[in-house]
C-alpha cells in the first residue's frame, strides 16, 4: 500500500520530492520498497508521537529543502483508492486552493452512516472550482467519530463528508499554523531541522523528537485553523485501518455467503466473515459476521462490527508487557 500511495502521486510530482516519515524500525524497509525515493527523504521516528509531530517535522524539513512556497500534500499510506485519476484531480484543486492561503483537506462523499470515521461539515461557500465539476468549499467544523444516530443525521443533512486525513497547504501556511497553535514545538523542530543532512541527524532526532507533545494533527491544528477548505470527491476510497474494511476490499464476490478469506479456509454455513490464515487450514461451521485471524503466535476472533475496538487488546498486551505479540 505504501508503494501504491507513492505511485498515485507520480503524475503530480517527482520521486525526489516525495518524503516519508515512518516508525524508525521500518525506515530501512521503506527505503528498500521505494528505491526511487532518495534515502534521506525517509525519516524514521524514534518514538510514536501521533500525527502532529510527524507533520510538523515534515513541514520544517520541507521548508529547508524545498522552500516555504512549496505545496505539501500529507497522505496516509494505508488508504486504498480505486479511481486514481479522480484522486489526482482532487489533489490538484486542493493545491490551487492552498495557494489562496487555505489549509485544505480531502473529503469523501459518505456512502453510509459510518461510525468509524471522523466527519467534515462544510458551509457550502464555494472557494474554487475546476472544469471537472469539483469544488473546494469552506469547512465549518470537524466532528469526531460519531455514534450511529449522529452518523445517520450527518448523512441525511447532506453537508458532511468523511474525513480522509489528507491535508494540503503551502509549507509556509503549515509552518505558521504550528507556530500559532503548537509554539512549544519550535525549538525542537529547529534543532532537528538544522541537523538534517548531517551525520548528526539520527542522534539529534532520537534525542529531541520524543520530547514533542503527543497529539493528533486534527485536534491540535486542523480544528483550530481559521481558513480551512475541503475538496469532496468519490474516488473509491477506503481507509484500511481495521479488519472489517480489509474485508470490504478483498471480499469474494463469487461467494454466496459474502465472505472474505486469505489463505486456507473451509467454510460451511459461514457468512459475512473474514478469515485470514496464510499458514494452516481454518474450518468454520455455522458462523456469521466474525473476523478470524490466525498467525503463528496469536489467534484473534472478534465480531465484524466491533473491529474498531481491537485496540483494547493491543492496549492490554502493552500494559502486560507482552510487546513481542504486538
Whole-angstrom distance, CA of residue 185 vs CA of residue 4 = 32
Q: Are residues 189 and 298 in the same domain?
A: no
| 45: confidence class by pLDDT, cuts 50, 70, 90 | very high
Q: What percent of the chain has pLDDT over 90?
A: 80
Q: Are residues 131 and 235 in the same domain?
A: yes
Starting at the edge strand found earlier in the chain, the sheet holding 290-294 runs 260-271, 274-288, 290-294, 299-303
Q: Are residues 100 and 213 in the same domain?
A: yes
Say if strands 274-288 and 260-271 run parallel, antiparallel, or are unpaired: parallel
Averaged pLDDT of the chain: 93
What average pLDDT score do residues 15-19 get?
98
Which of 38-52, 141-155, 242-256 bottoms out in mean pLDDT, i.e. has the lowest?
Answer: 242-256
Q: Are residues 6 and 132 in the same domain?
A: yes
Q: Which helix (H) or strand (E) holds 95?
A: helix 84-98
**Long-range pairs for 140-144 at CB < 8 Å and ≥24 separation?**
142/118, 142/218, 142/222, 142/223, 143/118, 143/119, 144/118
Query: If DSSP codes are grouped into helix, strand and coil, which group holds residue 165?
Result: strand
Whole-angstrom distance, CA of residue 155 vs CA of residue 143 = 13
The CATH number linked to 230 is 3.90.550.10
pLDDT the model gives residue 314: 86
Nearest one of 98, 118, 107 to 166, comparing CA atoms:
107
Q: Are residues 229 and 284 in the same domain?
A: no
Is the Cα torsion angle 43, 47, 48, 50 positive or negative in sign? negative
Structural domain boundaries enclosing 263:
243-325
C-alpha cell at 240: 484500511
Q: Are residues 200 and 309 in the same domain?
A: no
Read off the pTM: 0.85
Q: Are residues 186 and 276 in the same domain?
A: no
pLDDT the model gives residue 23: 95
Whole-angstrom distance, CA of residue 36 vs CA of residue 109 = 33
pLDDT the model gives residue 325: 80
Whole-angstrom distance, CA of residue 169 vs CA of residue 225 = 12
Whole-angstrom distance, CA of residue 265 vs CA of residue 198 = 51
Q: Are residues 201 and 250 in the same domain?
A: no
Last residue of a domain, one of 204, 222, 239: 239
Alpha helices per DSSP H over 139-200: 148-157, 171-181, 186-195
Residues 6+ apart with CB under 8 A from 310: 242, 243, 300, 302
Contact 67, 175 (CB under 8 A): no
Whole-angstrom distance, CA of residue 98 vs CA of residue 229 = 8
pLDDT the model gives residue 115: 86
Whole-angstrom distance, CA of residue 72 vs CA of residue 216 = 18
Q: Which helix (H) or strand (E) holds 315?
A: helix 311-319
Total structural domains within the chain: 2
Q: Are residues 176 and 300 in the same domain?
A: no
Please give, one letter per residue, the 3-state secondary structure of 22-76: EEHHHHHHHHHHCCCCCHHHEEEECCCCCHHHHHHHHHHHHHHHCCCCCEEEECC
Last residue of a domain, one of 239, 265, 292: 239
Q: Are residues 249 and 301 in the same domain?
A: yes
Last residue of a domain, one of 179, 205, 239: 239
Which of 36-40, 81-85, 216-220, 253-257 bottoms out in mean pLDDT, i.e. has the lowest?
Answer: 253-257
| 277: confidence class by pLDDT, cuts 50, 70, 90 | very high
Q: Are residues 31 and 99 in the same domain?
A: yes
Whole-angstrom distance, CA of residue 264 vs CA of residue 262 = 7
pLDDT the model gives residue 253: 61
> How many C-beta atoms lie closer than 10 Å to residue 202's C-beta?
15
pLDDT tens readout for residues 197-242: 999 999 999 999 999 999 999 999 999 999 999 999 999 898 876 7
Q: Are residues 133 and 39 in the same domain?
A: yes
**Better-scored residue on pLDDT, 64 or 148:** 64
Amino acid at each position: 500500500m505504501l508503494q501504491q500511495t507513492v505511485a498515485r502521486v507520480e503524475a503530480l510530482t517527482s520521486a525526489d520530492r516525495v518524503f516519508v516519515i515512518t516508525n524508525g524500525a521500518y525506515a530501512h524497509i521503506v527505503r528498500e520498497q521505494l528505491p526511487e525515493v532518495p534515502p534521506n527523504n525517509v525519516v524514521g521516528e524514534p518514538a510514536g508521537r501521533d500525527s502532529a509531530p510527524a507533520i510538523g517535522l515534515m513541514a520544517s524539513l520541507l521548508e529547508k529543502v524545498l522552500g516555504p512556497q512549496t505545496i505539501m500534500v500529507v497522505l496516509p499510506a494505508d488508504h486504498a483508492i480505486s479511481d486514481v485519476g479522480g484522486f489526482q484531480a482532487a489533489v490538484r484543486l486542493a493545491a490551487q486552493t492552498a495557494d489562496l492561503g487555505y489549509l485544505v483537506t480531502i473529503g469523501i462523499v459518505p456512502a453510509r452512516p459510518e461510525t468509524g470515521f471522523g466527519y467534515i461539515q462544510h458551509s457550502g461557500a464555494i472557494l474554487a472550482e475546476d472544469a471537472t465539476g469539483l469544488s473546494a468549499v469552506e469547512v465549518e467544523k470537524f466532528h469526531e467519530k460519531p455514534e450511529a444516530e449522529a452518523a445517520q443525521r450527518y448523512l441525511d443533512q447532506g453537508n458532511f463528508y468523511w474525513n480522509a486525513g489528507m491535508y494540503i497547504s503551502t509549507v509556509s501556511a503549515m509552518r505558521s499554523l504550528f507556530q500559532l497553535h503548537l509554539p512549544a514545538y519550535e525549538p525542537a523542530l529547529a534543532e532537528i531541522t538544522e541537523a538534517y543532512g548531517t551525520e548528526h541527524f539520527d542522534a539529534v532526532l532520537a534525542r529531541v523528537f520524543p520530547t514533542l507533545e503527543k497529539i493528533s494533527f486534527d485536534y491540535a491544528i486542523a480544528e483550530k485553523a481559521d481558513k480551512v477548505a475541503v475538496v469532496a470527491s468519490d474516488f473509491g476510497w477506503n481507509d484500511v485501518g481495521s479488519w472489517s474494511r480489509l474485508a470490504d476490499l478483498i471480499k469474494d464476490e463469487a461467494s454466496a455467503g459474502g465472505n472474505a478469506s486469505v489463505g486456507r479456509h473451509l467454510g460451511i454455513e459461514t457468512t459475512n466473515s473474514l478469515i485470514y490464515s496464510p499458514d494452516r487450514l481454518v474450518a468454520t461451521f455455522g458462523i456469521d459476521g466474525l473476523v478470524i485471524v490466525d498467525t503463528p503466535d496469536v489467534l484473534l476472533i472478534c465480531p465484524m462490527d466491533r473491529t474498531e475496538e481491537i485496540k483494547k487488546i493491543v492496549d492490554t498486551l502493552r500494559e502486560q508487557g507482552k510487546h513481542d505479540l504486538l
